[in-house]
Amino acid sequence: MNKTYSGLTSEEVRILTEQGEVNESENRLTRTKKEIYRKNILTWFNFINICLFAVVAVTGRFRNGLFMGTVLFNTCIGIFQELRAKKLLDQAYIMNASKTTVIRDGKEQEISPSKIVRGDLIVLDSGDQIPVDGEVLDGYIEVDESILTGESDHIGKEKDSSVSAGTVVTAGKAYIRADRIGKECTAAKIMAEAKKYKRAKSTLHADLEKLLKIVSFVIVPVTIGLYFFQKMVLDMVWYESALKTVAAAVGMIPEGLVVLTSIALAVSTMRLLSSRVLVQDLFSIESLARVDVLCLDKTGTLTQGKMETVAMEPLNGLSQAEAEKLIKSYFYNEEKPNATSAAIIRRYPAEEIYRKTEVLPFSSDRKYAACALEGEGSLWLGAPGFLFPDGCGLNEKISSYTSGGCRVLLLAASSQETCRSGILPSDLKPAALIVLKDVLRENAGEIMDYFKKQKVGLRVISGDDPATVSALAANAGIPGAEKYADMSKAGSDYDSLVDEYTVFGRVLPDQKKELIAALQRKGHCVAMTGDGVNDVPALKTADVSVAMASGAPAARDCANIVLLDSDFAVMPQIVDEGRRVINNITRASSMYLVKTVFSVLLSIYVVLFRQPYPFLPIHLTFISALGVGIPTFILQLEPSFERICGRFLTGALRKAVPSSAAVFMIALFCLYLRSAASMDTERGYGVLVLLTGTAYLFTLWRVYTPLTKLRIAVIAVMVAAFFAGILLFPNTLSVRLAQEDLPVVLGSMAVIPFVILLNAKIYEAAAGKEEA
C-alpha cells in the first residue's frame, strides 16, 4: 500500500452533507432529557398514586394525601440523578467513543461514523468495526462476518472485494470507499441488532420486575373490591370508605423501593465514574458484585501490556547479522504496530533491507503472520507450535524461556515468494527465536490477593504459550497457576477442563467463549475482561463483561463496564461498590416489603371477614417515613462488602414476612380491642399506630444488625421522632392517647419483638422444607 490517497476535499464533503449523503445513525448515546422526564413521571406507580390522591382530594381530607410528597420527592430525585448521569456519561462516552479514520484533503482524520459521507475514503485496521458498505481499494484485511452469516470463519478481503457494515476487521489494513451509507447498507437491520450490547444478567432486576408484576396484578381488583365492600356491606359513608381504600392501596405500592434502587445504582455509577469506570447499564454493578469466577487475559491485567525484547537466537547456521536483517525487513513499514511488534522494533529498528511484496496479517486464529520478500522467499512469524504443529526440535530450548515467564516467537523462512493464502510452505525452516517478556504490574499481587480473600475464583485465558502464562500467573500469586492447559491440544471437553485447570494458553476466540459457557454450566457467575476483537464472543457470553478503553472498539462497545484508563487495579473497587449498593438495597427492601405484604394480607382479610380497614393513609405515611424511608436513605451509603449470595427477593422476604405477619396480627388485635373496649375511632387509631410503629422500629433494628455507631444513631433518632410525632401532632395523625390504654399498649409493645422472632423461626422452617 505505497500509493498516496487524497480522498474527498472539504468542499466535496460540505456539498454531500448538505445533500443528505451522510451516514446518519439513529442510535443515541443515552436517553434524551425528554425521555428521562417521561420515564420518571409517566410510570404505572405514579399513575396509581395520582389516582389515589385525586380520591383524597375529592374527600377534602388533604392531610391524608401526604403520601404524594414521597412520590414527588422520589420522582424529582430520580430525574435529577438521571440528568446528572446523562451529562457525565455522555461526556465520558464522547471522549472514548469509537472513531473512524478517513482521508480528506490528503490527510488522515478521525471522525464519528455518523459524519461519513458517500464516497469517503476510509482507513480500516485490525479491531475496527466497519461503519458502511463499501469496496476495498487497496490493502488486505480479514473480516469476521459472523454478525451477518453466523459463521465464525474470517474472510479475506483484497482489492475490489466488497465489505459490509457491522462486520469486524480481525487482521490487516485496507482502504475502502464508502458506497452505501445509513439505511442503504444491506445489513442495516442486522447491524442495528448486533450492535446492541448484551445486558448484564441481574437477579435484582429480574426480582424487581417479578415483584412489580405481582403488585400490579393485585392492587386494582383488591382496592376496587375493598371500596365497594366497605361502602355497601359495612354501610360506611363514601368518603370514609374511600380514605380507608386509599390507605390499603398506598400500603401495597412499593414505589419507594423501586426508586431507591434506581437512585442507589445511579449514585454508584457516579462514584465509579469519578474513578474512571464507565458503567453502560446500571444493573451490571450488581452482576459484577455477584461474580464468583473472574476470567482474565494476562495483557493489561497481570501485566502492564508493555513488552520488551530480551533475546534473539539465530538458528540453522544463520548469523546474528543476517537474522537481524530479516527481522528489520519483516517489520519495515508496519503501521500501528501492536505491543509485540513495537517491542521487537525498539530492539531492532525496522529497515527496508529486502523489499516486501506481500503481507499476511496476524490472525488470532492462525497465531502467525507472514510477508514475502523480493528475491528472498517469505518469512513467517508466530507461535512455534502453530508454525510447526509436528515440532521443530526446539522444545527444550523454548521451554527454558517460557518456564521463566518469557514469550517466544519463532521466525521461519521459506523459498516460496508468496504468503497471501496463509497456507504454510512445505520447505519452512526455523530461522530465529525472538524472546520477549511482559512487565508484571506492580500491584498485580495485591489485586489477586483481594480476589482470593473474596473467594472469587480466577482463570487466566490467553492466546500465548501456556507455560509462559503459567509462570506469569504464578508470579502474580494466582492459586493453582501451575495447572495449565494447552488449548491447541486439549480437546473439547470444556466442562472437565474448567474444573481441572486454572491457566489456559493457545486459546482461540471460539474456545474462550466455550470456556466461559462451561463455567456457567457449572453454576458460576462469570465475569470476563478483554480488550481485543478476539475477546468479543467471550465478552458477550459472560454474565458481565469488562473492557479496556484502550482496546479494540468492538470489544469496548459490547462490554457492560469500560475501564476508561485501562487500569485493572480499579476492579476491587468496582466489586466493593457493587456489593455495598446491593447489600444496602437488600436491607432497605426488607423494610419496604413489610408494608406491601401486610397491606395485601389485611386487604384480603377485611373483605373476607367484613371488617373495616384499620389504617388511614396518613398513618402509613408517618410510620413508613420514620421506619423505612428516612433511615434507609441515610444508611444507603454505608460500607457493606459482604459477598452476595442467593436471590434478592428471597433474602428481602426473609426479614420482611415475619414483621408483616406481626403487623397483620397487630391490626387484628386492635380491631378486636376497639370493639371490646368500645374505643372511639381516634383512640383506636392511637393504639394501632403505636404498636405498628414499634413493630417497624424493631424490624429496622433487626434488619440492620450488627449495629454500628451510625446505625445506632439513626435508629435512636427515628424512635425519638416517632414518639415525638405522636405526642406533638395527634390531630394531624388523627390519634388520641388515653391513660387507661397504657397497660395494654406497654404490654403489647414488650411482646411484639418476641412475636416477630417467633414468626421468623416459623418462616425459616417453612422455607427450609420448601428448599429441601
413 pLDDT higher than 50: yes
Distance CA 123, CA 110 (A): 10
Residues pairing with 505 in the sheet: 486
Q: Give the confidence band of 84 by pLDDT, cuts at 50, 70, 90.
A: low
Determine contact, residues 447/381, Cβ cutoff 8 Å: no
Q: Give the confidence band of 590 by pLDDT, cuts at 50, 70, 90.
A: confident
414 pLDDT higher than 70: yes
In this prediction, what percent of the chain has a pLDDT beyond 70? Answer: 88
Distance CA 693, CA 622 (A): 9
Distance CA 324, CA 332 (A): 12
Determine contact, residues 109/101, Cβ cutoff 8 Å: yes
- 3-class DSSP state of 201: coil
| DSSP-derived pairing of the beta strands 162-163 and 133-144 | antiparallel
Distance CA 407, CA 422 (A): 23
Query: By C-alpha distance, which of 346, 360, 354 is closest to 326?
Result: 354
Determine contact, residues 261/208, Cβ cutoff 8 Å: yes
408 pLDDT higher than 50: yes
For 250-355, list the strands marked E by DSSP.
277-279, 293-296, 303-314
Residue-level pLDDT at 521: 94
Residue-level pLDDT at 320: 94
**CA 223 to centroid of chain Cα atoms:** 38
User: What would the mean pLDDT of 96-119 be, rounded to a whole number?
Assistant: 87
Local structure of residue 233 (DSSP, 8 states): I
More confidently predicted of 758 and 206: 758
Distance CA 107, CA 13 (A): 14
| DSSP-derived pairing of the beta strands 356-363 and 303-314 | unpaired
Distance CA 205, CA 247 (A): 28
Determine contact, residues 544/456, Cβ cutoff 8 Å: no
User: What would the mean pLDDT of 507-521 be, rounded to a whole number?
Assistant: 90
Cell of 653: 422476604
User: What would the mean pLDDT of 661-681 be, rounded to a whole number?
Assistant: 90
Residue-level pLDDT at 45: 67
- 3-class DSSP state of 459: strand
Determine contact, residues 354/332, Cβ cutoff 8 Å: no
164 pLDDT higher than 50: yes
User: What would the mean pLDDT of 98-104 be, rounded to a whole number?
Assistant: 88
154 pLDDT higher than 90: no
Determine contact, residues 369/362, Cβ cutoff 8 Å: yes
Distance CA 41, CA 44 (A): 9
| Average pLDDT over all residues of the chain | 83
Query: By C-alpha distance, which of 484, 475, 387 is closest to 434?
Result: 387
Give the CB-side neighbour count of residue 13, counting CA atoms within 13 A: 18
505 pLDDT higher than 60: yes
Residue-level pLDDT at 191: 41
Distance CA 624, CA 64 (A): 14
3 pLDDT higher than 70: no
Residue-level pLDDT at 772: 44
For 462-560, list the strands marked E by DSSP.
484-486, 503-505, 526-530, 544-548
Query: By C-alpha distance, which of 104, 123, 110, 143 is closest to 1?
Result: 123
Q: What is the pLDDT of residues 733-771, one digit of tens each?
A: 888 888 888 899 899 999 999 999 999 999 888 876 555
Distance CA 45, CA 621 (A): 16
Name the pTM for this structure.
Answer: 0.69
Q: What does the domain layout of the chain look like in residue ranges?
A: 200-270+579-771
Ranges 28-42, 250-264, 570-584, 693-707, most confident? 693-707
Residue-level pLDDT at 476: 87
Ranges 60-69, 70-79, 378-387, most confident? 378-387
- Residues taking part in catalysis: 297
The identity of residue 712, as a single letter, is I
In this prediction, what percent of the chain has a pLDDT beyond 90? Answer: 30
Residue-level pLDDT at 350: 92
Distance CA 499, CA 515 (A): 10
Residue-level pLDDT at 623: 92
Place of cell 468479543: 536
Determine contact, residues 282/265, Cβ cutoff 8 Å: yes
190 pLDDT higher than 50: no
**CA 663 to centroid of chain Cα atoms:** 38
662 pLDDT higher than 90: yes
Torsion of Cα atoms, 480 then 482 then 486 then 491, to 10°: -50
602 pLDDT higher than 80: yes
Element spanning 149, H or E: helix 146-149
Q: What is the pLDDT of residues 417-428, one digit of tens each?
A: 899 888 999 999
User: What would the mean pLDDT of 117-144 be, rounded to a whole number?
Assistant: 89
Determine contact, residues 473/453, Cβ cutoff 8 Å: no
More confidently predicted of 494 and 237: 494
Cell of 152: 465464525
CATH level 3 topology of 200-270+579-771? Calcium-transporting ATPase, transmembrane domain (1.20.1110)
Cell of 47: 399513575
More confidently predicted of 445 and 218: 445
Determine contact, residues 696/667, Cβ cutoff 8 Å: no
515 pLDDT higher than 50: yes
Residue-level pLDDT at 502: 93
Residue-level pLDDT at 189: 52
Number of residues that this document lists for the chain: 772
Residue-level pLDDT at 193: 42
Question: CA 710, 713, 715: angle at the middle one, nearest 5?
Answer: 105
User: What would the mean pLDDT of 82-106 be, rounded to a whole number?
Assistant: 71
Burial environment of residue 461 by CB neighbours within 10 A (0 to 12, 13 to 18, 19 or more): buried
Distance CA 511, CA 180 (A): 35
412 pLDDT higher than 80: yes
Residue-level pLDDT at 467: 86
- 3-class DSSP state of 109: strand
679 pLDDT higher than 80: yes
Ranges 100-109, 136-145, 643-652, most confident? 100-109
User: What would the mean pLDDT of 541-548 be, rounded to a whole number?
Assistant: 88
Distance CA 740, CA 438 (A): 81
Q: What is the pLDDT of residues 294-349, one digit of tens each?
A: 998 876 677 776 788 999 999 999 999 999 999 999 999 876 677 788 889 999 99
